[in-house]
């Protein structure tokens, strides 16, 4: 037996080793002293998962050699005390010997003068993608928004809206806390990039889910900016002032840190499109109707702006705004982090002048007709907002967290409309001149408290939530409308005049509690039990008055007036199971809920009661292939209740030619949603891939039914339909071309949807498809130039079951070129040009192509370029157009609206810092 083992070891084993005898060798030297380095460790790791294969040490002459390697892709890592690490990707072929010859290591003490860092630019930690900010090149004194544009899988549009891995970011945090609450661009456009250590992208879970580790279905796409430690000492910020002719911009942001205390103050004044009133403010200024959504797991109620197609707000775009926005932020932790507080105050004032026109092709079963409308409007809105948080660690096992936020505001508007309805032969059917005005106030208060306790047994917890949400709005306005109706001979045969005073009051209050208990079944599995009860109470009073013989608005119009009360209570009980393993985790469960409704017409003294039992299933699964790759699958079901606007049996004649009627018989709608996401990052070649898909279908969706009479008047009514669904596939590839500074980004996107409504009593099903792709190139040379190019072709197709005329398809193309170049004497020139090309439709023959070209020249002053003087011109070609195209289930619509055209600004900006976020030392370079 011993002879057999001896023969195997002596003859066979060397032969096997010889078959895989690829090797790596080199000589290690000090980069400055030119001395050989002995006893340094040379390790070989697999590129796929960075596991160690083998290692060796250098000899007295600095030589090292690693033999007996199989063919494949490896990482060579050389480490030695007091020297920076050396990392290189190796692709070994069979029997190949790679001689790296002289490899120079740099002492860590010299890295402050000239540093080369090889590090993981991206890490995937569970559901969080984390970017190391210093791994991405931005110019000195760049903003966080400049940094975000460099991150793979992250896009920032011209309005500051952020899309991360194919999904729109809804919240931006700074060190895990809201920064001035409602406007994330205050952080992204004013905080300095060199103050940021990490950028994290994740789906933020509810406080309850973060505490228990069991997903409750509440998620918000979130971006968190983790500041560097040295940025949390002293102060930093910027002050900027710009003006020329009638245009001006003023911005200031100051951050002051002392230990864990943070104070920040900012202010923005502007008469340009750089107002700071951007993508998030559509929520902040959502003074219209709202949708109420009840989460099946918690019973919690969410109120969101009403974007229902029945709305007649007449919004024509941004217009020409003048704005003031200011805020104060304070946060602190003390007494060994037992107490944690964070507060924000925010003031908004927006005056907007807008004008525009709309051209709409409306679809009937056997014909089409057209609407033309022009409008002028002016609005003034003001709001004071407060948010606060207090978290107390009561003892080592329990805590109490209290949050509150609210606002109080006013809204005043005046609008003038001139509209025409035309037949298929372009003959005049009716025309209308309409003036509306309104003054109102609005308020909101949300409070929440959560008490949490962990027991001695790991995984056993209990928590109690108490929530209340209150909103109120009041308005007093006037409607003056004059309509003429025409016969086939193009002569007026009927006139109609409306002159009314309208008073509205709406209140909504939601209050409830939820109790959650978790019990560990093993070290890896947990069970959650929960119960909740929520009460939703809404009242709405709408009163319309005609003039009496004394020209006073005192005659109540019964058909347009009502006092309506809407109450529903939701009781929910649920169970969820979660299993956590090293590589994967999953959870499944759901809630059974009873919702009892009561609708009361206080004018007619009638009450309608009904209730529903619902099952809200929920499941998710995630698998971690490696530290840089994972996949997740989620499913959830939830209901959306009809709003009081949709239920109230009342005609809304704010536009007498487009009447809207509520429907007290509406059912709640139930939506099933599926999401699948995959992400992968390869360290060596800096390749980032993400793929995602989603699909949702809705039972009893709340849509519309409308009828058109011979006079061209449209009456719309809310109804439940069926068959609605939406879905899509999206993805992205970001890769750095080897041995260059060129980065390539490709992001395809496909969406499909189906929508049902009724037109003159006939069911109309509309299917739509959108296919688009974003392709971009970014290249930079440190302290010399930056250049980016992008193209976004998009194909849109819509098909109606009711009419072939409603079916349409068209292409649109968006191209962008943006760059800057650094000249001697600290001069910089920069420019961006955007091309928008839209294929014409048969319904509209106007050319809506736009080339928008902006440029600037600036000079920097002072030692670290803190002071910048800039001259800029916007829309050099004077071609900017306010334009939008909408394909609706019943119409094809194009809008043109007032927007900014060519103007110039002279800007002076001062970036300052003291002990925090100091500029990188001169000569420092960071590469990957």
Sequential DSSP letters for 95-149: T-EEEEEEEEE-BGGGTTTS------SEEEETTEEEEEGGGS---TT-BHHHHHT
- Report the distance separating Cα 620 and Cα 611, nearest Å: 29
Q: How much is the pLDDT for 557? A: 94
- Report the distance separating Cα 248 and Cα 269, nearest Å: 8
Q: To the nearest whole number, what is the mean pLDDT of the chain?
A: 82
- Which among 675, 713, 679 is positioned nearest to 695, based on CA atoms? 675
Query: Among 305-309, 322-326, 340-344, where is mean pLDDT lowest?
Result: 305-309
Please name every residue paired with 685 in a beta bridge, in sequence order, or none if there are none.
Answer: none
Residue 226 pLDDT class (50, 70, 90 cuts): confident
- Report the distance separating Cα 131 and Cα 688, nearest Å: 11
- Give the number of residues written for the chain: 928
Between the CA of residue 614 and those of 294, 307, 609, 668, 877, what are the distances in Å? 11, 26, 17, 11, 58
Asked if the model's pLDDT at residue 283 lies above 70, the reply is no
- Report the distance separating Cα 532 and Cα 519, nearest Å: 18
Between the CA of residue 57 and those of 80, 88, 742, 797, what are the distances in Å? 10, 17, 36, 64
Q: How much is the pLDDT for 317? A: 43
Edge-to-edge strand list for the sheet holding 162-164: 154-156, 162-164, 167-168
Asked if the model's pLDDT at residue 177 lies above 80, the reply is no
For residue 254, the Cα-to-chain-centroid distance in whole angstroms is: 25
Please name every residue paired with 407 in a beta bridge, in sequence order, or none if there are none.
Answer: 385, 444
Q: How much is the pLDDT for 498? A: 94
For residue 737, the Cα-to-chain-centroid distance in whole angstroms is: 29
- pTM for the model stands at 0.74
First-last CA distance in the chain? 54
Could you read off the pLDDT of 56-73 as tens digits, one per residue?
A: 889 888 899 998 888 888
Is beta strand 86-92 parallel, antiparallel or unpaired with respect to 808-823? unpaired
**Contact assessment for residue 673 and residue 620, using Cβ atoms and an 8 Å cutoff:** no
- Report the distance separating Cα 294 and Cα 469, nearest Å: 13
- Report the distance separating Cα 156 and Cα 163, nearest Å: 6
Residue 503 pLDDT class (50, 70, 90 cuts): very high
Asked if the model's pLDDT at residue 269 lies above 60, the reply is yes
Could you read off the pLDDT of 20-36 as tens digits, one per residue?
A: 578 899 998 887 666 88
Residue 32: φ, ψ to 5°:
-110, -40
Region 643-647 average pLDDT: 88
Please name every residue paired with 144 in a beta bridge, in sequence order, or none if there are none.
Answer: none
Q: How much is the pLDDT for 112? A: 43
Residue 328 carries which DSSP code? E
**Contact assessment for residue 175 and residue 264, using Cβ atoms and an 8 Å cutoff:** no
- Which among 389, 378, 331 is positioned nearest to 354, based on CA atoms? 378
Residue 12: count of CB within 10 angstroms of its CB = 10
Residue 902 pLDDT class (50, 70, 90 cuts): very high
Task: Check residues 363 and 506 and name the one with the higher pLDDT.
Answer: 506
Between the CA of residue 169 and those of 145, 203, 204, 686, what are the distances in Å? 13, 9, 11, 23
Between the CA of residue 85 and those of 41, 48, 58, 135, 201, what are the distances in Å? 10, 20, 15, 16, 28
Is beta strand 702-708 parallel, antiparallel or unpaired with respect to 742-759? parallel
Asked if the model's pLDDT at residue 12 lies above 50, the reply is no
Instruction: Detail the DSSP E strand segments found in 458-491.
Output: 461-486
Count helices and strands in the chain by DSSP H and E runs? 7, 51
**Contact assessment for residue 655 and residue 312, using Cβ atoms and an 8 Å cutoff:** yes
- Report the distance separating Cα 553 and Cα 558, nearest Å: 14
């Amino acid at each position: 037996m011993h002879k057999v083992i001896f023969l195997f070891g002596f003859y066979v084993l060397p032969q096997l080793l010889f078959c895989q005898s690829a090797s790596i060798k080199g000589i290690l030297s000090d980069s400055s002293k030119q001395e050989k380095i002995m006893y340094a460790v040379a390790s070989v790791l697999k590129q796929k998962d960075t596991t160690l294969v083998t290692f060796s040490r250098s000899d007295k002459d600095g030589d090292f050699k690693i033999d007996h390697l199989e063919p494949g892709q490896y990482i060579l890592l050389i480490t030695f005390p007091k020297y920076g690490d050396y990392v290189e990707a190796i692709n070994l072929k069979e029997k190949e010997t790679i001689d790296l010859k002289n490899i120079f290591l740099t002492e860590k003490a010299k890295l402050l003068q000239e540093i080369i860092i090889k590090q993981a630019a991206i890490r995937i930690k569970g559901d969080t993608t984390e970017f190391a900010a210093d791994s991405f090149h931005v110019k000195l004194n760049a903003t966080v928004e400049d940094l975000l544009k460099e991150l793979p899988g992250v896009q920032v549009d011209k309005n500051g809206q952020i899309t991360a891995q194919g999904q729109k970011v809804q919240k931006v945090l700074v060190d895990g806390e809201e920064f001035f609450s409602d406007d994330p661009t205050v952080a992204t456009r004013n905080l300095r990039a060199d103050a940021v250590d990490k950028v994290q992208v994740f789906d933020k879970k509810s406080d309850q889910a973060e505490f228990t580790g069991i997903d409750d279905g509440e998620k918000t796409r979130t971006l968190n900016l983790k500041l560097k430690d040295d940025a949390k000492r002293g102060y930093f910020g910027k002050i900027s002032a710009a003006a020329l002719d009638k245009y001006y911009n003023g911005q200031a942001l100051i951050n002051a840190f002392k230990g864990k205390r943070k104070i920040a103050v900012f202010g923005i004044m502007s008469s340009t499109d750089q107002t700071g009133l951007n993508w998030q403010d559509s929520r902040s200024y959502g003074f219209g109707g709202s949708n109420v959504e009840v989460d099946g797991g918690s019973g919690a109620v969410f109120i969101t702006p009403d974007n229902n197609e029945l709305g007649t707000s007449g919004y024509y775009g941004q217009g020409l705004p003048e704005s003031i926005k200011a805020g104060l932020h304070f946060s602190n932790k003390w007494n060994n982090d037992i107490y944690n507080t964070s507060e924000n105050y925010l003031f908004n004032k927006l005056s907007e002048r807008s004008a525009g026109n709309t051209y709409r092709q409306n679809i009937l079963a056997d014909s089409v007709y057209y609407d033309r409308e022009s409008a002028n409007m002016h609005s003034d809105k003001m709001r004071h907002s407060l948010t606060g948080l207090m978290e107390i660690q009561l003892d080592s096992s329990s805590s109490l967290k209290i949050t509150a936020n609210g606002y109080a505001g006013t809204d005043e508007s005046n609008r003038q409309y001139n509209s025409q309805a035309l037949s298929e032969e372009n003959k005049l059917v009716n025309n209308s001149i309409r003036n509306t005005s309104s003054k109102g106030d609005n308020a909101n208060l949300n409070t929440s408290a959560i008490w949490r306790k962990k027991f001695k047994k790991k995984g056993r917890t209990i928590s109690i939530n108490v929530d209340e949400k209150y909103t109120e709005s009041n308005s007093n306005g006037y409607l003056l409308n004059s309509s003429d109706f025409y016969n086939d001979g193009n002569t007026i045969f009927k006139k109609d005049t409306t002159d009314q005073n309208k008073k509205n009051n709406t209140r909504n209050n939601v209050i409830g509690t939820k109790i959650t208990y978790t019990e560990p079944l093993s070290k890896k599995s947990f069970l959650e039990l929960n119960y909740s009860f929520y009460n939703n109470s809404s009242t709405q009073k709408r009163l319309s008055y005609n003039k009496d013989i004394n020209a006073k608005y005192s005659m109540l119009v019964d058909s347009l007036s009502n006092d309506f009360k809407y109450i529903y209570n939701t009781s929910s009980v649920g169970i969820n199971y979660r299993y956590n393993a090293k590589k994967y985790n999953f959870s499944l469960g759901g809630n059974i809920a009873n919702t009892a409704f009561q609708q009361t017409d206080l004018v007619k003294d009638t009450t309608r009661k009904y209730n529903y039992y619902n099952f809200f299933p929920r499941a998710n699964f995630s698998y971690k292939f490696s530290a840089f790759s994972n996949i997740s699958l989620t499913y959830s079901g939830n209901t959306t209740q009809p709003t009081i606007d949709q239920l109230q049996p009342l005609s809304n004649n704010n536009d007498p030619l487009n009447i809207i009627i509520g429907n007290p018989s509406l059912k709640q709608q139930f939506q099933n949603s599926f999401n699948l996401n995959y992400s992968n990052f390869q360290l060596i070649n800096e390749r980032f891939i993400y793929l995602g898909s989603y699909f949702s279908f809705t039972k009893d969706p709340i849509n519309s039914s409308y009828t058109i009479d011979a006079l061209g008047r449209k009456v719309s009514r809310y109804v439940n339909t069926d068959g609605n669904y939406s879905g899509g596939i999206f993805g992205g590839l970001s890769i750095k071309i080897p041995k260059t500074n060129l980065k390539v980004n490709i992001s395809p996107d496909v969406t499909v949807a189906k929508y049902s409504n009724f037109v003159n009593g006939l069911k109309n099903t509309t299917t739509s498809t959108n296919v688009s792709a974003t392709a971009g190139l970014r290249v930079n040379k440190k302290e010399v130039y930056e250049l980016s190019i992008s193209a976004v072709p998009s194909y849109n197709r819509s098909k109606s079951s009711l009419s072939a005329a409603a079916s349409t398809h068209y292409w649109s193309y968006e191209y962008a070129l943006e760059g800057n170049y650094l000249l001697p004497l600290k001069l910089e020139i920069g420019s961006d040009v955007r091309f928008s090309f839209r294929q014409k439709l048969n319904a509209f023959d106007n050319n809506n192509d736009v080339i928008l070209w902006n440029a600037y020249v600036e000079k920097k002053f002072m030692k670290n370029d803190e002071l910048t003087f800039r001259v800029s011109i916007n829309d050099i070609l004077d071609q900017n157009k306010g334009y939008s195209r909408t394909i609706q289930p019943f119409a094809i619509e194009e809008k043109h609206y007032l927007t900014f055209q060519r103007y110039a600004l002279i800007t002076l900006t001062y970036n300052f810092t003291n002990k925090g976020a100091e500029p990188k030392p001169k000569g420092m370079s960071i590469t990957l």
